[in-house]
Amino acid sequence: MAQTTLGWREWVSLPELGISDVKAKIDTGARSSSLHAIDINPIDENGEKWVEFKVNPVQHQTSTLKPCRARVKDYRQVTDSGGHRSMRYVIETTLCIGEQQFTAEVTLADRSQMMFRMLLGRTAMKNRFAVDPGKSYCVSQKPSPPSGTI
């Protein structure tokens, strides 16, 4: 089966979290996928671990905060690109990229100082996508702004 080719950045939707478009860096150097999340609050509900958090999906804009909730799949140590280790909550959620929809593990981290609100790591891409680092937005296009905005 031929793999879909992604550019080094693509628009990704996370429908289970109510997030329609987030600009993601397609990062073959990262094992895990990561989503920008703040106010991360673990809760116990009927013996299950859940996490509530807020997502700011828009780069360079802090006023849009989307409250989210997901079941915790794991809590694990992750090493970032600078070699710093931290414990992160891991959720499993549906991702939509181009015509493909699939479930993937995503870690939650404060990415406010990063250029992209999401990283798509190689575990989520394995056997699904190839990457052309010389291209952008191969399977997605910039979403239209809501009516009434510029």
Pairing, β 100-109 against β 118-120: unpaired
Provide the terminal-to-terminal Cα distance of the chain, rounded to the nearest Å: 41
In a domain, 110, yes or no: yes
In a domain, 149, yes or no: no
Sign of torsion over alpha carbons 138, 103, 112, 69: positive
In a domain, 2, yes or no: no
Question: How many structural domains comprise the chain?
Answer: 1
**77-108 residue pLDDT tens:** 998 777 889 999 999 999 999 999 999 999 99
CA distance 116 to 121: 13
In a domain, 126, yes or no: yes
Pairing, β 85-97 against β 100-109: antiparallel
In a domain, 101, yes or no: yes
**For residue 56, what are the domain limits?**
14-132
The Cα-based distances of 54 to 36, 89, 129, 139 in angstroms read: 9, 13, 28, 27
In a domain, 105, yes or no: yes
The pLDDT value recorded for residue 80 is 78
Query: Has residue 1 got a pLDDT over 80?
Result: no
Q: Please, which pLDDT band fits residue 114 given cuts at 50, 70 and 90?
A: confident
CA distance 9 to 138: 8
In a domain, 97, yes or no: yes
Within a 10 A sphere around the Cβ of 101, how many other Cβ atoms?
11
The helix, strand and coil proportions of the chain, stated in percent and rounded to the nearest 5, come to 5, 55, 40
**22-52 residue pLDDT tens:** 999 999 999 999 999 999 999 999 999 999 9
Q: Please, which pLDDT band fits residue 144 given cuts at 50, 70 and 90?
A: low
In a domain, 127, yes or no: yes
Mean pLDDT of 44-73: 90
pTM of this structure: 0.90
For residue 88, the domain's CATH number is: 2.40.70.10
